[in-house]
Structures are given as structure tokens and as C-alpha cells.
Amino acid sequence: MRRTALIASAALLTGLIPLTVAGTASGADDPAPVPVDRFEGEVPFASQPAEGIFTWGGDADDPPALQLADRTDAPEGAKVLSGTYDISGYGGFTHDFAAGRPAHDWSAHQGIRFWWDGQDNGKKIAFEIKDGGANGEASELWTTSFTDDFSGWKQIQIPFSDFVYRTDYQPVGGIDHVLGLTEMWGYAVTLPPGVKGRFAMDDVELYGKADQSRRASVTTDSAVYPVREGGTARVKVTVATTGSAPLDEPVTVAYDTAGGTAGSGTDYTPVSGTLTFPAGTVSGSTRTIEVRTLKGKAAEAAEAIPLQLTVTGAKAPAETPQVVIDAHGLPYLDSRLPVQKRVADLLSRMSLEEKAGQMTQAERAGLTSQGDIAAYDLGSLLSGGGSTPTPNTPEAWAEMIDSFQLRAQATRFQIPLIYGIDAVHGDNNLAGATIMPHNIGIGATRDPQLAQQTGAVTASEVRATGIPWDFAPCLCVSRDERWGRSYESFGEDPALVKSMETIIQGLQGRADGRDLSRNDKVLATAKHFVGDGGTEYGSSTTGSYKIDQGVTKVTRQQLEAVHLAPFQTAVDRGIGSVMPSYSSLDIIGDGQGPVKMHARADMINGVLKDRMGFDGFVISDWNAIDQLPGDYASHVRTSVNAGVDMMMVPYTYKDFRTTLIDEVKAGRVSEKRIDDAVSRILTQKFRLGLFEHPYADTSGAADIGSAAHRAVARQAAAESQVLLKNAGGVLPLKKSQKVYVAGSNADDLGNQTGGWTITWQGASGTHTQGTTILQAMRKAGGDITYSKDASAPLNGYDVGVVVVGETPYAEGVGDVGNGHSLQLSAADQAAVDKVCGAMKCAVLIVSGRPQLIGDRLGRIDALVASWLPGTEGDGVADVLYGRRPFTGQLPVTWPKSEAQLPINVGDASYDPQFPYGWGLTTLTKVPAGGAATLKALSLAAALAERSGSASAGREIVTKARLLVQQKAGSALTAAVAGPFADADHLLLTGKYTAAVAKLTEAYRAVA
């Protein structure tokens, strides 16, 4: 007999339905259950973001296999949703409701229930519902779980009160952290990993009636009310209902000031009483409770006055509001004192627990509750890539940061948070911000002044959202283009990286830190210390990564000359923080073998802090200590003793702080080391002016994405374009020409901006404001026809422009061999072949690293390394149409084949497609005279070197370089490429005479 819920008596159902997992049976006056899914075929299998059921997982093997199967024992109807799974990482399925239709309203019900075919495997199964936001994939996740410890069908019944806000992951970082139930988009089931299994599910429905305490809630306008001693705090108490209906029943709020660190009658006047919101009260009605503080004479730390609220008839506030009497009269609060004295005074007052909190950084979406900021004395929060407020606007960022800073005011000494983000090419987390070219493009400009300007624009836009700390710049020296972080590097030559460190002044201002408190400057971070750009291919042990987070194996001389040199420059420029690398360092001959950088006390304490004189603080990378050997206590003491001052522990901040305290008490981490770390952190907080101005100064918000800021990005995009070949003077284009444009990256802003744009990995398509290369070419006045795949007719055009390259990626996800290669895609190759086979053509490669063009080079008239130019495609059009000249130079060597990698300037065997420093120019006259001119330039270079004239020296070497490029054309041999590349390195080190000599050698080697 088929068990069904369609036609059965109550008595029969009582006998057939097992006991529920949670909740109680529905009451007699409850409304009829409302079906959500019956699985009779009414819900399709689909792909995001369409309406329907779709699967997901950590890798290709993790998504379960689903089907709608006939079951004679189906609890409801004929079919059930069934499937099989074998999950190594994570996987499950989701039902997203109508993608293009209104969300569902579940607010009238008590909870949700469904039938589950138990396998009795003892595994937890997570069940989530999606609340609020724009759609199912941009909503809050609320989660609970049940245990599969039964066999056969069982009805799982979950009241909505059992769901908690998910803190480890949110697609958009949260809407309002309130389970409103009026905008429900779907549900998701996460199946257990590590066990091969099957499942079946049926009849998802809403049950029960929501009582008023489910629909009505009492809130306060804040959780913390800082007030100066003697002032009055005003606490607004509001009652609200789901759907804004008037109250059905009265709501009372009894209040009382009790407990806390402030003294009743001495520090404040106690208050108590009851607020009543009668039946019929309009949703949103407010009452005010006043708490008056009393003036005293003594200097004091902050004192808290909890306002206890007892609510009847509605849901009470999630936490007890606190009135906080501000700290006052203490030396560390006196902005007239030197920073060193303020730090010493504050440090002397702090407990070990407070110091450990200052060394702890949590991900803002990882907070169990905002109250943890004060409860654990947290020193810092961050937003990881894609961890943004909703909506992703400057105003929302500022409000979010302010809400976190307000929580810090509830601590004893009201030490402000320092909030950090990865703004690595503009404020790349913020939609509508100015997105610069990635560092590899900045390196191609060879323009230190422009690099500083890009830093200044970034700092201005970041600080205007309330954020004072930027995890940039990356000072890695990229030595292998198979690395997924290649584009984060300014180039392969440490001399080039050092020359671009003017960006630090753009971010921070003057080297002595006096500008950090300005509303347009941020604390910068030199990363990743040290050697992350030199990891060996195949040495990574992180998941599927091939080279990122691997091992850098070098001699001590190579370490000093290549990888350490940029960090000494950063220290000299006053860098405020440094981030160690995930990678391991293996110094040949030191007997240690590969050691993770977060454990290398010899490098962090010994070299960075002691020898280089770094006086800022060291911040770990994301969960990096978890990669150290040993147990968690070992991770903590090893990294802290190695010199890491603040730990980025996004979701394990409680564990880290507790473990650090235990390690100090056990004597395995010294109090002296703790004091050093906290002193460094507090010093930067004082320099940033956070104690005086912890909240966002949004006066510069109007400049975010402004024309002036975008003009800087446009110039950077233009100067970053490297013209590798230009046979027949195809470029610049003329506006009178009919131009055929094709290629995957001609009209894709996401591909153009690359990884670390809005989200960690970036994405193809349009996700922020900007101008694509195609749009810019049209704006420039060109006569343009566009066909992405070159399928449109090819006849009748003067020239073709094919824009190809990579799609976005970040870090080890982008390692070559991890789903990526240096080859153009088949579609890109076809577009190049079609267009270049039919007309004169220019090919632009939009990428984060060189792409292998092989035997196609001969069929391409003009070739441009366009790098990742950012949001301002107008800069690319500027050089294509001759509004600006091509002036960019290769920041890395362009290889002929992957077999040549790694290949870098200075290698003994060096035969690239194009050498480091190569870059043709347009609108520039090449000197005449050949060898005779080179000889004269050599004499002039010697004079410039003796007189210390850097500008003259650069101009002289540039003229010599143009002579060599003109003669060499595309006939580059190893004999030409080697000295040509060496010359650019020598130029950057101020050795102008030697640079001209190398260029003369290259000139003579041209066949």
C-alpha cells in the first residue's frame, strides 16, 4: 500500500508518521500546511540563476546526482527527489525559487518540514533557507542541521526559531542579519562528505501558525551608547512586526539599569520602569529611555551600564544594550603627547587578555555576533575578497565600518579597530570604484610618478569608506609566469619593483607617517615577505595549486639581491605593515630545508625587524598559520615567536586568542614578545588618528569613481600598453579606417579588470562601472564593426583588431596546470586566424601574464601586450588611435614556449620571443646615425652618471633603446635579446654607461 498524505484520516496519519526531530505537532487551529515542493515534476532541474533545483560542490566530483524517482513508499504523491553522492570536499543541492518572480512570504508559519529517507549513517546534514536580498544567490543564509541516525522515512520538522545566521559564508555578506521570512528565495541541503551514500526527500512544506513573538520584535537603535561623563544617553526602543501590521496583543518592555562596571548612584542615576505598546500599536512605534551619567573628578577607563530589557509579547533584542561612559583623563587619550608615550601608557594599563585581542583579526562575516568585538577585545577586522556589505556602495561600507567601531567603544580602553581590505588595484572590492591596471601593467609604464598617483587615488577612495588599512602593495618579484599571482607583481626585475614603490607614498604619504591621519591616506602593507615570486613549479602542497604557496629555493645571495631588496626599499619608505608569504623558503646551505615563512624567526625578527629596522607590525596571511606543522598551540606560539604581530584568523578568532593567552601563561610565549607586538599595532592606530576619529570620514566619498580619479586610471592604462610588433605602421589607427573588431576580450569588462575585482577570483561580464575596449574605440570616433567570434563577413575592412587573452583568476587557482595555460583559447586562436588571414590586423592580448603566440606571430601585423588595464578602456583606445603614444615596456620576459620557463632577465641562456624591457613606440622620432649616434650617447651617459642626472640618463638610454628596436624589428635573436634586457636592468639601477654599452652590443648583434 502506498503511504500518502493526500487522502487519510488523522488517526491513520498518527500511526504512519514517525516522531518529529524538532518542534511539536501542529495545533488544531493551525492553518493547513503550505506545500513548497512535492517533487511530482513541477520543479525543473536547472542551472543558476534560473528557477529550479541545481547541484554544487567543491570540485567536479562533489555535486550529487539527482533524479525525480517513482517510489511506492513515497510519503506524498508518486515521486520523490532522490540521488547519490560521494563527496570529498563539500557538495549538495539547492532549490532556488522563481528567479524572475517575487519571493515567497513564509512569515505566517511556525516552521518548515520535509520527509527524509534515513540511511542511519550518523552523519549531520545541513539544511539552509535563503532570506532577503535580490534573489536566491544574493540572500542571507540561515542554517540548522539534523542527524541521519534513523532508517526509512521520517518527517524532519524545524521551527524557524531553530535557524541561525550562517557566519562562515554568506554570498553577499549579509542583508540585515534578521530572519524576516517575508522574502524567501529557497533552501539548500548540504550532504555529508567522506561517506558514499544515497538519499531521498519528499514533501517540503510550511507548517504551523506563527505567534506574535515570531512576528513582532523589540529592538533598540543601537547596541552601544557611548556618552561623555556627565552626559545623558537616549535609548530608543522600537516595536516592529513582520509585514508592518499593527500589534494583535500588547507588548511590554520592562527595563532596569543593573550590573556592569559603572557604579549606580556614583557614575550614573539608576532608572527602571515599564514601556507598554498596546494592541493596535503601529509597527515602527518608538519609546525612549534616558540614562543620565554623573560627572566625577578622577581620570577613568570606560565604564559600562547594561540596560536590562524584559520583553513580553514580542521577540526581545538579541543582546542587552549598553550605555558606556567614555574613558577620560588618561594620558593615552591626549593627542598632544608623542605617540611613543601614548603607546607606553596604554600598554601599561592593558591585561593579557586585552593584548591578545589586539593581536587578533577576524573576518567581518565570520563574527558569531558583533558583540564579540568587545567580548574578545578584537584589534582588527577585515573583508576578504568579495566580503562586501549589501548594497555594495560607499555609504553601506561606511555604515558597516562605523557599526563595528561602535562596538569597540564598549571595551575598557575603547581601542578602535583597524579595518583592512585587499585594495590591490584601486578599491577593487567596491562596485563603482576606480579600478587601476594590475601591478604588472603599472610595471609596464616605467613611470614611478604615475605609480604614486594610482596609490593616492586608491587611498582616497578606500579611506572615504571608513577603511584605514590596505593589504597592498605586493612587492613580489615574479620569476615564473606560470604563477597565478604573476599579475600582482610589478615585474621580474627587483630593480623595477623597487622603482615602482613610490606607490607606498601614494597610499601612506610621507615616510615618517605624519600623513596617515589624513582622510585620503591609508596604512600600506608590503607583501609577501619573502620570496613568494620565486616558488618552484610543482612545489606547492596546497590542494590543486601547482606553484603558488610552494617552495622558493635560493642561495643567500639570490635571496638578498632578488627577493629581499624590495622590502628594504619599503622599510626605507616607511611602510606601516608587512605580510609574510604562504610559501616556504629553502636557503641553500643553511641546513634548515624548506620552512614556512610564517615560522621563520630568522627572517621576520632577524632580517625584517632587526637588520632592516622595520618598526611597523607584521600581519599574517589568511589562515596561514594553519599550514604550519604541529598542533594548533604550536601554530600559535611558532608564528608569534617568529615575529608575526597580528594573526589573520578569519573564523577562528576565539580559538586563536584563547590559545595565545594559554601559551603566554605557560611561558612558551613571553610577555615581552606580546608587548612588542601590541606596541607596534597601537603605534599605527595612533598614527592613523583612529583614537580621535574612529568613524568614517566620508567627505571624500564624492570623489569615488570621479572623472579626475578615472583620468589617472586612464593614463595608467594607456602607459601600460606594450607594443611588441608593428609591421607596416598598422598602429596607430586612423579614424577614417573601417575597423573590424573581434575577440573574447574586446567587450568584457570583467576579463579586462581580472581577478581581485569585486570578488576574490573576479568574473567575466559586467560587475562594476567602466568602459570596455570596444566601447572606448567607438567613443574615440572609430568606424567599428564588432563580431566577437569573427563570424560576420570579413570583406571591405581596412584593418582588424582582435582582442583576446585570459579570463579572471586569482592566486593558486590561476596557476598554469590548475585549469589554466599560457595558450590562447581555441576560440581566440580561431578569431586571430580568421581576421589576420583576411586583412591587416592588430592583436591585443588582455592578460595577467604573457601568452604563447607561437607560429601566429608571422601572420600578425601588430601585437600589443594589453595586460589587465582596469575599468578605463579609454586608455587603450587612446594609444590605438594615437591620442597618446605607445610607451610601455615589458615588465617580464615574453617566452617563445612554456618549455623555456622560468626565463628572466640576466639568465645565462636567454632566447625569448620578446626580451624584458622591449616596447616599441609610436609618435616618437627614432634618432638617426646608427652606430655613431650610439657612441655619442655612450659619452653622454657617462657624463649624466658622473653628474647624477637621472632624468638625462634615462633619456639617453631610451634613445639608444629605440635605435636597437628599430634595427632589430622582429628579427630578435638570443644575441640581441640578452644584452637588450640587461640594459633595462642597468638603467633602473642608475648605470647609464653600462646600459648604453649593452645596447650597443645588441645593436651590433642584429643580423
Q: Looking at the annotation, which residues are catalytic? A: 621, 811
Phi, psi of 708 (to 5 degrees): -65, -45
Helices 339-349 & 671-687, crossing angle to 10 degrees? 130
Region of 946 (left: φ > 0; alpha: ψ -120 to 50; beta: rest) is alpha
Ramachandran angles phi, psi of 833, nearest 5°: -65, -40
Distance of CA 998 to the CA centre of its chain: 42
Cell for 149?
A: 541516525
Closest to 416 in 3D by CA, of 366, 375, 373? 373
Q: Which of 494, 440, 479 is nearest to 866 (CA)?
A: 440
Cβ neighbors of 139 (< 8 A, separation 6 or more) are: 130, 131, 132, 133, 171, 172, 175, 183, 185
Sheet holding 525-529, edge to edge: 525-529, 577-580, 617-618
CA angle 777, 778, 783 (to 5 degrees): 100
Q: Cis ω on the peptide bond leading into residue 902 (within 30° of 0)?
A: yes
Question: Using alpha carbons only, how large is the chain's radius of gyration in Å?
Answer: 32
Residue 719 to residues 229, 441, 709, 782: CA-CA distances in angstroms? Answer: 56, 8, 16, 21
Identity of the residue numbered 627: Q
Q: What's the rounded Cα separation, in Å, for the pair 829 and 851? A: 11
Q: How far apart are CA 992 and CA 942, in angstroms?
A: 7
Beta bridge partners of 523: 469
What sign does the CA torsion over 39, 45, 51, 54 have?
positive
357-382 burial, b for 16+ CB within 10 Å, e for fewer?
bbbbbbbbbbbeebbbbbebbbbbbb
Residue 303 is placed in which grid cell? Answer: 565604564
Q: At 435, phi and psi to the nearest 5?
A: -100, 120
For 866-922, list the strands marked E by DSSP. Answer: none
**C-alpha closest to that of 707 among 874, 941, 923, 481:** 874
Q: Which of 498, 460, 462, 459 is nearest to 477 (CA)?
A: 498
Q: What CA–CA distance (Å, rounded) separates 981 from 906?
A: 8
- Cβ atoms of 252 and 275 within 8 Å: the answer is yes
What is the three-state SS of 322-343?
EEEECCECCHHHCCCCCHHHHH
Cα separation, 590 vs 190, whole angstroms: 48
| 345, three cell numbers | 601608557
**CA 601 – CA 480 distance, rounded (Å):** 27
Identify the DSSP state of 25: P
Place of cell 500546511: 33
